[in-house]
Amino acid sequence: MSGLGLRFEKMSIRRLCGLLSLRRQRYYARRHHKAEIEKAAADGELLAQMQAVRKEHIAWGFKLIYHYLRHQKGLKFGKQRGHRLYQQAKMSLWRSPKKVSPKRVFQDLIAPQAPNQGWALDFVSEQVVGQQATWYRVLGVIDECSRKCLWLSAEQSMPASKVVEVLEYLVAMRGKPAYIRTDNGPEYVSDALKQWAQDNQVVQCFIQAGKPTQNGLMERMNGTLRRECLNIHWFASKQELDAYLEKWWHTYNFERPHSSLNFLTPVQVEKQFFSTSKMGA
């Protein structure tokens, strides 16, 4: 159609369309269609440039790509146009997905029949208020049969290596358990603890994610620790926190009666069991 306009420059588009029995809407539609084709081709070239930059710099978002092409490559295009192509091509940078927790099989929480057959581990957090507030992680280890608190200590950092040191100390003092029960925290799923368990032939029993009741005996002790110690004291220093933890540990194991143990203490339960074992032997 544009060729007719060039050949008959002195004749208007309206006159030409009348002679050809052609609606002017169709004439302008064809011109618009040609503009759309040219625009699509230009958009394709621009998108190819953006994708080439992304291929070379995979961590760059739209803002960096836009300014790089505008200022470093000298391309002239609008920000809205570039962002439209960027989104249509699904080039948006998504945040790295969270590490998927391993799937765990449900295991019945059955207490062992003898002390030292199974241990449970868990952390609680407590704040020391002083000149500068500091959070500490309190590691607790409990015997699932006697309910004895085997370990209780607070540290600012408690990586897997320190957890392994605690377990090695307890094994030297009491012998190794058949299994340890934990949640899916990074310290417990670490290679260091996995290697320790393999070397000592100890089974790692993991609870299902988001179900702390599957480690109910440990959670019960944590609740008692909070209710009877952590929630009723303000700690001005780590030394004060350690002193209160040691005092509560002694009370919990040697003085406090446990309803689940027929109101005996964990130490009394272990003494009864070992004395009975010796008599049976």
Q: What is the pLDDT along the chain (281 residues), one digit of tens a residue?
A: 455 554 556 678 778 788 777 777 776 666 555 567 788 888 999 999 999 999 999 889 999 999 999 999 999 999 999 999 999 998 888 766 566 666 777 766 677 889 999 999 999 999 998 778 899 999 999 999 999 999 999 999 999 999 999 999 999 999 999 999 999 999 999 999 999 999 999 999 999 888 888 999 999 999 999 999 999 999 999 999 999 999 999 999 999 999 989 999 999 999 998 887 654 55
Q: 252 with 149: CB under 8 angstroms? A: yes
Listed residues 68, 88, 108: the one ending a domain: 88
Residue 55 forms part of a structural domain: yes
Q: What pLDDT is attached to residue 113?
A: 85
Residue 96 forms part of a structural domain: no
Residue 97 forms part of a structural domain: no
Q: 138 with 126: CB under 8 angstroms? A: yes
Q: What pLDDT is attached to residue 98?
A: 62
Residue 110 forms part of a structural domain: no
Q: What pLDDT is attached to residue 241?
A: 95
Task: Name the domain count of the chain.
Answer: 2
Do residues 161 and 275 both lie within one domain? yes
Do residues 159 and 269 both lie within one domain? yes
Give residue 185's identity as a one-letter amino acid code: G
DSSP letters along 163-222, please? HHHHHHHHHHHH---SEEEE-S-TTTSSHHHHHHHHHHT-EEEEPPTT-GGGGHHHHHHH
Residue 33 forms part of a structural domain: yes
Q: What pLDDT is attached to residue 39?
A: 84
Do residues 253 and 187 both lie within one domain? yes
Q: Which of 185, 116, 125 is nearest to 144 (CA)?
A: 116
Helix (H, G, I), strand (E, B) or coil at 153: strand
Q: What is the CATH number of the domain that holds 211?
A: 3.30.420.10
β-pair type (134-143, 149-155):
antiparallel
Q: What pLDDT is attached to residue 155?
A: 95
Do residues 69 and 155 both lie within one domain? no
To the question of pTM greater than 0.75 for the whole model, the response is no
Cα separation, 75 vs 77, whole angstroms: 6
Do residues 59 and 144 both lie within one domain? no
Q: 117 with 273: CB under 8 angstroms? A: no
Cα separation, 281 vs 276, whole angstroms: 9
Residue 111 forms part of a structural domain: no
Listed residues 42, 66, 88: the one ending a domain: 88
Cα separation, 270 vs 248, whole angstroms: 19
Q: Which of 131, 101, 111 is nearest to 210 (CA)?
A: 101
Residue 108 forms part of a structural domain: no
Listed residues 88, 110, 135: the one ending a domain: 88
Do residues 82 and 179 both lie within one domain? no
Do residues 210 and 142 both lie within one domain? yes
Calculated CA dihedral for residues 112, 116, 118, 120, nearest 10 degrees:
120
Do residues 249 and 209 both lie within one domain? yes
Give residue 171's identity as a one-letter amino acid code: V
Q: Which of 132, 119, 65 is nearest to 93 (CA)?
A: 65
Expressed as residue numbers, the domain containing 34 is 2-88
Residue 102 forms part of a structural domain: no
Do residues 66 and 155 both lie within one domain? no
Do residues 14 and 140 both lie within one domain? no
Question: What order do you get walking across the sheet with 179-182 strand by strand?
Answer: 149-155, 134-143, 118-128, 179-182, 203-206
Q: Work out the burial of residue 149: count CB atoms within 10 Å of its CB; fewer than 13 is exposed, 13-18 middle, 19 or more buried.
A: buried
Do residues 73 and 189 both lie within one domain? no
